[in-house]
A and B are shown apart, each in its own frame.
Chain A
Amino acid sequence: KAGVTQTPRYLIKTRGQQVTLSCSPISGHRSVSWYQQTPGQGLQFLFEYFSETQRNKGNFPGRFSGRQFSNSRSEMNVSTLELGDSALYLCASSPWTGNQPQHFGDGTRLSIL
């Protein structure tokens, strides 16, 4: 069974640009969550999507947004990039919302210059 796939693996952007990251969950999983990991900060929850609806949102500014498609694939978008947005962005899927444990992809490493 294929795991969670995130693309691209690495991305370099400059301040002010926008970026879109993609996540394909495990087949049959309908819940997709996004996390930001920065050095020394652990994993911070961004948002969760289930059945194309945002179920939960973390404490991040509105520049961070996401969506989920009918095939459960998800994208997250960050607009007006700032240096502090440099991080590893992780996507995790689970069969149902509130159903743990979540299965993580290997992440997208975003660097802002």
Chain B
Amino acid sequence: DQQVKQNSPSLSVQEGRISILNCDYTNSMFDYFLWYKKYPAEGPTFLISISSIKDKNEDGRFTVFLNKSAKHLSLHIVPSQPGDSAVYFCAASRLGGNTPLVFGKGTRLSVIA
């Protein structure tokens, strides 16, 4: 049973446009969500996080939105750059709890120049 789902395996976006990556979760106990970016032959790099007390968190070109009632979060990248081409993983956990991160299967983003 997949608790964190990224239903789009891949996404292509033109440079300068907005990239929107989506993530759904089923476990209502999750209250902390993270996005990681992964380049080939490298480990995942933390991008941005959000706790359930907020519905939006921004960091430069990256914004994460959380819709708790829909159990849905999204990552917006504006404007998209070719260097953003990577696999993006959504992860969920319980902040401060003794629960490990649960990852989605990832979405491969390709930003076309």
Contacts and interface: CB of A to CB of B under 8 A. Distances in A.
Interface of A: 4, 6, 33, 35, 40-45, 48, 55-56, 58, 90, 92, 97-107
Interface string B93-113: 111111111111110000000
A106 B42 contact: yes
Nearest to B104: A42
Interface of B: 32, 34, 36, 41-46, 49, 89, 91, 93-106
Contacts of B32: 100
Q: Is the interface of B mostly helix, strand, loop or mixed?
A: loop
Contacts of A48: 100
B99 A101 contact: no
A98 B95 contact: yes
B43 A106 contact: yes
A42 B97 contact: no
13 contacts: A41-B105, A43-B44, A44-B103, A55-B98, A56-B98, A90-B43, A98-B94, A98-B99, A99-B96, A100-B49, A100-B101, A101-B46, A102-B46
B11 to A, nearest CB: 16
8 closest A-B pairs by beta carbon, nearest first, are A104-B43, A42-B105, A101-B46, A43-B103, A45-B100, A42-B103, A106-B43, A104-B44
